[in-house]
Amino acid sequence: DIVMTQTPLSLSVTPGQPASISCKSSQSLLHSDGKTYLDWYLHKPGQSPQLLIHEVSNRFSGVPDRFSGSGSGTDFTLKISRVEAEDVGVYYCMQSKQLPGTFGGGTKVEIK
Amino acid sequence: EVEVVESGGGLVQPGGSLRLSCAASGFSFAGYAMTWVRQAPGKGLEWVLGISGGGTSTYYADSVKGRFTISRDNSKHTVNLQMNSLRAEDTAVYYCAKGSNYYAYYYYLDVWGKGTTVTVS
């Protein structure tokens, strides 16, 4: 299975400040079709997980533009340009290039 | 509105069985893969099983292979998860999620249910 490693485990951020989460995969997520199958999800307290970013850098419908994704191959980053109170929760990266899909361990974002 | 709703969770003894269901609405059900993801207490998300839109292809994590079975009824817009030989480590919230394509791979999970809790004790 492809192993997904996220850092840091947790992040405490002042509102209005930026935040960055790293995700590394044990194998390249670049497929021969030219797409890279790496997505980001946010699991807010008491809610179901929600899709933020798909295929590295594509914001899902309704996701604010303060969220952005970047990276290639095995190294990926999720950035929040200005953290807001509603952004608290656990962020997960997930690969779907190889079955079974695998999630990173999660990064918990809290507000200072 | 696109929606998936899980049901069937509960308390079961080790070695027992349970059947979860997921009812989907608001989209062309047979055109999309469906997936079950679980979260054990205090743990992260785990991709568990996936099924293609037509139901002919199914995929399992090693942790449930041989014990869990995923199926779907496209006429009823439902996905089922039959869980046998349950273990304490299967205790989790089980989420049903819609895939972005037909296949259950090379995809993302764009609609999630609220989850149903399974406790094996």
Give me the DSSP letters along A69-103: EEEETTEEEEEESS--GGG-EEEEEEE-SSSSPEE
pLDDT of residue A92: 98
Subunit contact A100:B50, Cβ cutoff 8 A: yes
Give the integer Cα–Cα distance in Å for B25 and A101.
24
Subunit contact A96:B106, Cβ cutoff 8 A: yes
Give the integer Cα–Cα distance in Å for A84 and A28.
32
Give the integer Cα–Cα distance in Å for B2 and B110.
10
Give the integer Cα–Cα distance in Å for A51 and B112.
9
Residue A96: its chain B contacts at CB < 8 A? 105-108
Subunit contact A48:B62, Cβ cutoff 8 A: no
Each residue's pLDDT tens digit, A88-98: 999 999 999 99
Each residue's pLDDT tens digit, B12-55: 999 999 999 999 999 999 999 999 999 999 999 999 999 999 99
pLDDT of residue B104: 85
Interface of B with A (CB under 8 A): 35, 37, 39, 44-48, 50, 59-62, 95, 97, 100, 104-110, 112-115
pLDDT of residue B26: 97
Q: Over 90: is that where the pLDDT of A4 sits?
A: yes
